[in-house]
Structure 1
Amino acid sequence: MTTARHALESAQASHAAMARSHAQKASGADFTALLPPPPELAARGERMTRTAIAASQRHGTQLAQAVHRLHPGAAGQLTRLELVLSVRGLYPAVKRTIAETLEREPMTVLQQMDLRSASAEQGVEAQVVVLLAARPSAAEFRVR
């Protein structure tokens, strides 16, 4: 009987913890606290570009373009860095190159991906737009 009682108490405690977690999330917990500060965006973009170059070499694709576009946020808004990558090669290799690039940098968003057929020898060309965001600076951040 004590084993059953222990299992019931354990399940109740687990349920209560889960309910507290959901209540905390619903209470307006701000996800922007998880984002890095704006000064780190350039370093993250450079790191992601280096990762894309290495992944491209590893998977036998060609990284034709890597362009950074900074979009500063107004007071209290997110600062964003768009990274535009153009990758050419056989479809499975292009897919692996993009996947590895995205997996290695946390808190990235695949904003857009255009895929088109290239020549028979080159396979496909993918243009990928990746979004990196930074939280508002402490001076600008206001809890509503």
Structure 2
Amino acid sequence: DVRLTNQNAEPLEIVHVDYSFAVDGRRVFRARRATRTTLGSFASHTITIPAVITDEDARWTAAGRPMSIAGTVQGEFVYVSQSTLAEILLDSGVRQPSVGFHGSEDIPFSAVRTVSAHTIAPLVTMGATLETEPVGTMPAP
């Protein structure tokens, strides 16, 4: 999960998140996820960003899975203010304001769900926090 905080007087629309997940320093998952979440003025919201990891990608065997996963997540959220001009600039690709995030943590393997040949690592335990800056220091959408 990544906690977003909007310190601005106007709402921001979180359009999508681009992120990757690494295990023991090796990137094993990369994705873009549409969010289309509105973050109200002076409000916070938590967004879950899942990762699917195969045993092959992580170089595990069913018998040789570790007790914990040294997981790292990093990425960026693309956002836009709720003005018509900002939407046009975003849709045309001219302007896509974004803010990055990262976090790492040892995730106990017991907290990881396994589905057939894939392992799903919940990022719920990740301590990544994203704080947007006031409009004066964040690029104006």
For the aligned pair, the TM-score class normalised by the smaller chain equals 0.3 to 0.5
The structure with the greater share of residues assigned to strand is 2
State the structure with more CA Rg: 1
TM-score (norm 2): 0.34
Select the structure with the greater relative contact order (CA < 8 A; seq sep ≥ 6): 2
The structure with the greater share of residues assigned to helix is 1
TM-score (norm 1): 0.34
